[in-house]
Amino acid sequence: MRTRTLSASVIVAVLTLCVAVAAGAASPLGEVTVSNPAPRRASDIQVASTGWQPDGVVTVSLTGTDGVLAHATSDATGAVQVRVAIPADAALGTQVLSVVGSTSGGFPQQITSVLAVSGADKPSRPARPPWTIVFVLAAIATVLILLSARSERQRAIASP
């Protein structure tokens, strides 16, 4: 009887271990990290990711932008490192960076990271005079000077 109880305990322990391992296998196969989780528009960030098919192609994209930011090929270990440019017209605020490709087992995988995109520093423009107004004022001054000179000539001719 003692042998059956010991065998049953071993079977329960093995089944518990199998369930725990299976539950752990559901975790993500890869990860992604970014050099700056709060980039500014028109800046570059470094994206590093693991868990990809060796020598496979992955695509990096960002919500709030048109199109793909980059395509990259993973190395022999399934790791990818790529520098991507945040577009100058990227939507401001919370955006999702996605890395999409295939796992080492050939299964489709998408890994995401949240970015907080902010506006780019705009260079201050020096104050310039409004040239249209300058030209109009110059034209008016020229007309007034010509009229004044004409009036003086007419007075000089009229007075003997």
pLDDT at position 158 is 73
**pLDDT range class, residue 138, cuts 50, 70, 90:** confident
**pLDDT range class, residue 123, cuts 50, 70, 90:** low
Q: Is there a domain that residue 17 lies in?
A: no
Query: Which range is least confidently modeled, 18-27, 36-45, 94-103, 110-119?
Result: 18-27
pLDDT over 60 at 22, yes or no:
no
What is the rounded average pLDDT of the residues 42-64? Answer: 96
Angstrom distance (rounded) from CA 74 to CA 85: 19
pLDDT over 50 at 30, yes or no:
yes
Angstrom distance (rounded) from CA 44 to CA 42: 7
Domain that holds residue 42: 30-117
Q: Is there a domain that residue 46 lies in?
A: yes
pTM of the complete model beyond 0.85: no
* Helix/strand/coil percent split, the chain, to 5: 30, 30, 35
Query: 68 near 97, Cβ under 8 Å?
Result: no
Q: Is there a domain that residue 131 lies in?
A: no
Q: How many domains does the chain have?
A: 1
Query: Which range is least confidently modeled, 50-54, 102-106, 124-128?
Result: 124-128
Neighbours of 15 (CB within 10 A): 10
CATH number of the domain where residue 105 is located: 2.60.40.10
Of all residues in the chain, what percent carry a pLDDT higher than 90?
Answer: 53
**pLDDT range class, residue 9, cuts 50, 70, 90:** very low
Q: Is there a domain that residue 66 lies in?
A: yes
